[in-house]
Amino acid sequence: MQKRSQEEKQRRDAFEAKENAAKGIDIDLIKEWIHHNTEGMLKHQELKEYRDKQVAQKDKVESEMLEEGD
């Protein structure tokens, strides 16, 4: 039973590979694209958080300066 299940999985995998090749789909290229864009989104989020902290710090310093000026 297990051997038959394994053979069926191999047939399905081979069929999917042939079908993807016929459609011109490059799975490795898609995986690389996902990896690259995920890294980019994480870097963007990191920079956004850093910017938000800097803006908050700037606002705090400006408000302190205004209070001292009064």
Chain segment 18-37, per-residue pLDDT in tens? 887 888 888 888 999 999 99
pTM over 0.85: no
Q: Which residues of 48-59 are buried (b: 16+ CB within 10 A; e: fewer)?
A: eeeeeeeeeeee
Both structure tokens of 67? 């209070």
As a whole-number percent, the residues of the chain with pLDDT over 90 amount to 51
**For residue 60, pLDDT beyond 90:** yes
Q: Which pair of structure tokens corresponds to residue 53?
A: 């902290």
